[in-house]
Structures are given as C-alpha cells and as structure tokens.
Amino acid sequence: MRWLKISFITLLFAITAAKASDDEVHLAVSTTIQSPLDIICAKFSQTTPYRCKMTTAPTGHLYAHVMHGMAYDLFLSSDVEYTQGLINANKVDPLSRIVLAMGKIVLWSADKTLDPQVLKNKLLHEPNAAIVLANPGASSYGAAAKEVLQKYDLWAHIQGRLIYARNIRHTYELIESQKASLGFVSLAQLSADERAKHHYWEPDPKSYKPVVHEVVTLRHPQHPKATAAFMAFLKSSQTRQILQDAGFEHGAGCKI
C-alpha cells in the first residue's frame, strides 16, 4: 500500500511537471536580439496561457546546440547562413522560416560630445583613431561593418587601425570602456536616450547587406501549441512596436 501511495504521488508529480512543461516554449535566441525578446516574452506570458524559456548565445553556438540535438522549439538567428545550414541538415521546418527583424549598424563613440558628422570625419580622416568592429568572419554585424568600410574605400587603408572584437556585444564593451575611440555597433545596443539624441553616425543602409534576424521552428517542436502561439505573437502589432522601439526594423513576419 505504501508503495502504491508513493507511486501515485510520483505519477501525479510527473503529470503536473509535464503539464507545466507543455505551457512553455523553449527559445534559442541570438544575443543580438535578446533585449527586445525579453520584453516580447513578458508580453506573451501576460496575454496567453504560455510562457517562454530562453537560451541566449551567439548564433553559431546555438546552431551547434541544434545540430547536436538540443531540444529547442524555435531558433532565432542573426545569420541566415546558420538557418540555411539547419534547413540543409533537416533540423528545422523550412516552411516556418520568417524574417523577424532587420538590424542596423551605426558608428558610435562613448564620447557623447561627438555629433554624427564629427564621428564620420574621425572615421574618414583621422589616421590614428582606432576602430573596433566584430569579427567579420563570425558576426553578421561585423561583416556589415566591413562592407561599409569597403564602400568608402577604406578597408585596405585602415588595417592598422582596426580592433577585432569577438562579437557585437564585445564591440560595444570595448568602446564603452574607451579601449577604442569609436566602432561599429548595432543601433539596438544604444540606449533609447542615445538614439533619441542621435549620438551616432548611421551609414547608408544600401552600403551593406541587411542584417536579418529570422525565426524558424524546429522539425519536431517539443511544445507545438506553445510554439504556434508564440509564432503568431511574433507577427503581431505588439511585437512590431517592441522591435521598433528597440532600434530594429520589423520584418513583418514575411517569408524568406
């Protein structure tokens, strides 16, 4: 009888845990879009019976997780090549793939007295000004910064001025700590106050390939109802506003 009671309690606990788990969507989120996703997840939990469990890391790390069988429901990437790699490996559902947002790069300095034109002049005309950017081989934002420098015919001439950061977050940290006088960061990394006061120089968006943040569902999501609900929420006007407020251009949920 005691064994039966323990077994019943164990079974009841397992059912309760499974139910709680069914209410949760597990997200693999690129660190470059983490801040607005925190807000989106909070709003999602307030307006639906579901909640988010978020794992954040550079897109390349998350890609490796999925390739090795990590049980995520959704993959939120900042690099289309990684998403395509998962499609080629049959790890995700290609029909679910949508653009969530478009990232923008800006030239920024921790010196708040510099206006956009001064920043641009420092880039173009000051031979001793160190410039930091994320590693172009590992970061879509770094690759975009390289394209801008090539567009202005600077890339070949400023190699001695360049500092390569591990990723876009590290780029911001190096500039903020003034280990570099200026560099290319994501507009979304700047505070709302900095964006409002325009403490940055924004290159012509046509001078680099768009930094695409996209979403795709894993081939066999563990929590299909919560996953479907979250995908629908990502296409909502509420999500669009959150992304725009954070410095992104909303992707309108359009297909790749």
Q: Which residues are annotated as a binding site for molybdate?
A: 59, 168
Bridge partners, 226 (sequence order): none
Spatial CA neighbour of 83 closest among 70, 68, 104, 66: 66
Binding residues: 59, 168
Tokens 């996209």, residue? 214
Please name every residue paired with 185 in a beta bridge, in sequence order, or none if there are none. 106
Taking a C-beta distance cutoff of 8 angstroms, is the pair 99, 256 a contact?
Answer: yes
- Answer left, alpha or beta for residue 90, where phi above 0 means left and psi between -120 and 50 means alpha: left
**How far is the C-alpha of 62 from the C-alpha of 4, rounded, in Å?**
43
What are the φ and ψ backbone dihedral angles of 143, each rounded to 5 degrees?
-65, -40
- Given a contact cutoff of 8 angstroms between Cβ atoms, the answer to whether 122 and 132 are in contact is no
Q: Is 175:162 a contact under the CB 8 Å cutoff?
A: no
Look at the alpha carbons of 189, 255, 146, 75 in this order and tell me if their dihedral is positive or negative. positive
Number of Cβ within a 10 Å radius of residue 184: 29
The answer to whether residues 212 and 99 touch, using CB atoms and an 8 Å cutoff, is: yes
